Amino acid sequence: MNIVRERYEQLPYPQVVVIGGGFAGLEVVKGLNGKPFKVLLLDKQNHHCFQPLLYQVATASLSADSIAHPFRTTIAPMPNVAFRMCSVLGVDPTARLVHTDRGEVAYDILVVATGSSTNFFGNARMEQEAMQLKSIAQALDIRSDFLQDFEAALYAQDEADQRQCLNFVVVGGGPTGVEMAGALAEIRRTVLKREYRELDSERMQIWLVDSNDRVLRSFSERNSARAREYLETMGVHLKLGARVTDYDGEVVSFSTGERMASHTVLWAAGVKGVLLPGLESAMVPKANRYAVDRQNSVVGFKDIYALGDVALMTEEDWAHGHPQVAPAAIQQAQWLVRNLIRSQRGSAMEPFTYKDRGSMATIGRYKAVVDVGRIHIGGLIAWLAWMFVHLMALVGFRNRLQVLMGWAWKYLSWRNTVRLIIRPYVRKATVTEQEAAVSTR
């Protein structure tokens, strides 16, 4: 290990520091493999997480290790790449330093690929009480939570208490919200009905809430209507044109004045870029992203680039920036690699142009929608296309094989396979009550 480290540090190349090992960051690392650069990847986790399938970990369809891949496994064969696990605290552009909880890291070229976090649009109470889905840890919390709710429902004293345990509210009608609601509906039809026979499965209610007048608003109207039909056929209740205004851990309040008892609210209503102290002058507050030019260079800073969810680049067809999705992040990263190599050779950097590869979402078995240009398909063909694209996008052969086997077993057996409460989820309200009880003794 020391030999590898010394060889890395002595390379006579410019130091490229990549912050974040998501889709964009990992693509930069892979692209610069073997090129005349020293590359250092920084991330607070030791693994890449395939976020599009997080909801399947949350709903017990896949194990966590099926969608995670260790960074060190990826970079081990790369002679000019190293990895450090740390939390980035800020950037000093003048001194060309990255401040971390493990010390300072010098850079010649900095790539900010910090991704996004859940956007609660200033609702502090929702941020405190609602569950979110941006990491494997959060997915495992959701999995434990709904399984614990099923167990708790068996002990409920009356029907109202039982319904509260089995009432699930998903906020946000985009792909994540639609996929989560559909997966919960399948769990009601299979797991709850077959394995919790003491319960009336019809008491489990799934509500999908969105302030827009239709689900999957970024999709074509045809596929948006298809998705709505699929959801309603599966028994999901749609609450459109309404906003969740408050949630105290027990009761959800809506902008319409309605209130609903629920132990579980899943927030999937939006994302915002993860920004770093030191680059405030380039921040666009409304978007919570960094303004970048067509070469992904952060406006006002030399040799600092931002990619993916945290980058706000405008084009003629994308006046409000590119969508915060994996294909945009990957394309930007690949183009930046090309530009860095061109720059190293003395050539000028070329402007980036985003190519929209389409959108897809799955709602349930044989139910999916795909938009590619003017082509709008749904049903079995779309479902198979969704599975193929996501399977091939996974990092590592082992992950692809695990996911393929997991899907095969699930769709042959009609069961979600990973229904284990290994790490029980403790609600924040419960923790607060316990602390209060201790303080009064």
Residues 101 and 44: their CA atoms lie apart, in Å, by 10
**179 given a catalytic annotation:** yes
Alpha carbon of 276 to those of 17, 43, 91, 92, 170: distances in Å? Answer: 14, 13, 7, 10, 30
Helix (H) or strand (E) holding 23: helix 23-31
Alpha helices in 107-171 (DSSP H): 124-129, 136-153, 159-165
Residues 32 and 29: their CA atoms lie apart, in Å, by 5
Pairing of strands 244-247, 38-43: unpaired
Pairing of strands 38-43, 81-85: parallel
Q: What are phi and psi of 153, to 5 degrees?
A: -60, -30
**Cβ–Cβ under 8 Å, residues 130 and 266:** yes
Burial 97-118 (b: 16+ CB within 10 A, else e): bbbbeeeebebebbbbbbbbbb
Residues 134 and 239: their CA atoms lie apart, in Å, by 24
Residues 187 and 29: their CA atoms lie apart, in Å, by 39
What would you measure as the largest C-alpha separation in the chain, in angstroms?
Answer: 74
Distance of CA 55 to the CA centre of its chain: 9
Catalytic residue among 179, 186, 202, 315: 179
- Between CA 91 and CA 396, with CA 331 as vertex, the angle to 5 degrees is 90
Residues 381 and 371: their CA atoms lie apart, in Å, by 12
User: Half-sphere exposure of residue 211, counting CA atoms within 13 Å on the CB side?
Assistant: 9
Burial 145-183 (b: 16+ CB within 10 A, else e): bbbbbbeebeebeeeeebbbbbbbbbbbbbbbbbbbbbb
Residues 348 and 302: their CA atoms lie apart, in Å, by 15
Residues 432 and 99: their CA atoms lie apart, in Å, by 34
Residues 170 and 183: their CA atoms lie apart, in Å, by 11
Q: What amino acid positions are annotated as catalytic residues?
A: 179
